Amino acid sequence: MRQRLSSEPDRYRGRRRVPTPPRSRYAAVVTSAFVGAGVVALGAGALPDAKSVSPSVLDELKQASITSQDVADRAASVDKPSRSNARDSQAKRDEVWLLPLQGYDFKSPYGMRWGKLHTGIDLVAPEGTPYVAVHDGTVTKAGWFGGYGYAVIVKHADGSEIIYGHSSEVSVHEGQQVKAGDQLGLVGNTGHSYGSHLHLEVHVDGQPIDPVPWLDVRGVNIQLQIDTFYSEVAAS
Ligand SMILES: [Zn+2]
């Protein structure tokens, strides 16, 4: 046993045998107190009984403070946009989908109506109510659009399009880039419309689809909004 130990390289034996100085209980308590209080600047004068604390403990404290500050800085920088995570920011934007209106009456679903296909959903709201972009995209139409009246069409990065119809007025122009939540226009009763409402129509590959399940997959629950609306009405 002794023979084997003596044959080990000195460096190895040295590392193994030099005891790590035990971190004193005092240092641990004071360190956590400083970190907990969020103190950044650390001087000997700030310490209680500074004279009785050995320089090595002070160094250890400073190091602990610097390290914890580094960690705090790094944590804070995670949410800040920068060139390096621009792609991550764009990925987050791609996930932002919003309701076009707050507070509406879901009047007419997608499907057959009066012998023909109703190609969108009708969200009834008072004339002049602002409506917003459901998702980031490019405005490809902003103005009179036949039966849709004053309408806005926004094309998204994935190629899908949303038509917002029957506006009393539009607030954007063709070619404009919009973000989810940007105001596009005001609810109205223009074109082939039976009363003030927003006609919301989704096109995928150029064809209209039922917006309700399509939006639901993207976290926009039209049904939830209806339930909320009616429960508020019932409670009032
Ligand atoms: Zn409609």
**Domain holding 151: CATH number?**
2.70.70.10
Q: For residues 142, 143, 145 and 147, what is the CA-based torsion angle, rounded to 10 degrees?
A: 120
pLDDT of 84 > 50? The answer is yes
Q: What tokens does 186 get?
A: 């005001």
Residues 161 and 50 in one domain: no
Q: For residues 90, 92, 97 and 101, what is the CA-based torsion angle, rounded to 10 degrees?
A: -90
Q: Distance from the CA of 98 to the center of ligand 1, in angstroms? A: 19
Q: What tokens does 114 get?
A: 């009066």
Residue 129 vs residue 39, higher pLDDT: 129
Q: Distance from the CA of 199 to the center of ligand 1, in angstroms? A: 4
Tell me whether residue 88 is in a domain.
no
Cβ contacts of 110 within 8 Å, gap of 6 or more: 118, 119, 120, 121, 208, 209, 210, 211, 212
Residue 42: its pLDDT value, please?
A: 40
* pLDDT average, residue stretch 119-136: 96
Residues 37 and 101 in one domain: no
Q: Which has the minimum average pLDDT: 33-42, 144-153, 189-198, 208-217? A: 33-42
Q: Distance from the CA of 147 to the center of ligand 1, in angstroms? A: 10
CB 184 within 8 A of CB 137: no
Tell me whether residue 89 is in a domain.
no
Q: Distance from the CA of 219 to the center of ligand 1, in angstroms? A: 22
Total domains, the chain: 2
Tell me whether residue 120 is in a domain.
yes
Please report which confidence band the pLDDT of residue 102 belongs to, taking 50, 70 and 90 as the band edges: confident
Residues 105 and 213 in one domain: yes
Residues 106 and 43 in one domain: no
Residues 176 and 144 in one domain: yes
Q: Distance from the CA of 138 to the center of ligand 1, in angstroms? A: 22
Q: Distance from the CA of 190 to the center of ligand 1, in angstroms? A: 12
Q: Distance from the CA of 136 to the center of ligand 1, in angstroms? A: 22
Helix or strand (DSSP H, E) at 166: strand 161-167
pLDDT of 232 > 60? The answer is no
Q: Distance from the CA of 35 to the center of ligand 1, in angstroms? A: 59
Cβ contacts of 2 within 8 Å, gap of 6 or more: none
Rounded distance between C-alpha atoms, residue 25 and residue 2, angstroms: 36
Q: Distance from the CA of 162 to the center of ligand 1, in angstroms? A: 13
What are the b/e assignments for 80-94, b being 16+ CB within 10 Å? eeeeeeeeeeeeeee
pLDDT over 90 percentage in the chain: 48
Residues 62 and 116 in one domain: no
The amino acid at 177: Q
pLDDT of 172 > 60? The answer is yes
pLDDT of 187 > 80? The answer is yes
CB 100 within 8 A of CB 145: no
Q: Which has the minimum average pLDDT: 22-26, 148-152, 176-180, 200-204? A: 22-26
CB 57 within 8 A of CB 27: yes
Q: Distance from the CA of 79 to the center of ligand 1, in angstroms? A: 40
pLDDT of 163 > 60? The answer is yes
* pLDDT average, residue stretch 185-194: 96
Residues 73 and 111 in one domain: no
Residue 108: its pLDDT value, please?
A: 86
Tell me whether residue 86 is in a domain.
no
* 155 closest CA partner among 129, 133, 132: 133
pLDDT of 34 > 50? The answer is no
CB 98 within 8 A of CB 115: no
Residues 167 and 114 in one domain: yes
pLDDT of 127 > 60? The answer is yes
Q: Distance from the CA of 203 to the center of ligand 1, in angstroms? A: 14
Q: Distance from the CA of 25 to the center of ligand 1, in angstroms? A: 72
Tell me whether residue 83 is in a domain.
no
Most confident of 15-24, 36-45, 57-66, 127-136: 127-136
Residues 7 and 115 in one domain: no
Q: Distance from the CA of 123 to the center of ligand 1, in angstroms? A: 8
Residue 130: its pLDDT value, please?
A: 97
Q: What tokens does 70 get?
A: 């580094």
* pLDDT average, residue stretch 197-206: 97
Rounded distance between C-alpha atoms, residue 190 and residue 153, angstroms: 15
What domain range includes position 53? 2-77
Q: Distance from the CA of 102 to the center of ligand 1, in angstroms? A: 18
Q: Distance from the CA of 205 to the center of ligand 1, in angstroms? A: 20
Please report which confidence band the pLDDT of residue 54 belongs to, taking 50, 70 and 90 as the band edges: low
Residues 189 and 129 in one domain: yes
Residue 206: its pLDDT value, please?
A: 94
pLDDT of 119 > 60? The answer is yes
CB 162 within 8 A of CB 153: yes
Residue 29: its pLDDT value, please?
A: 39
Write down the mean pLDDT value for the chain. 75
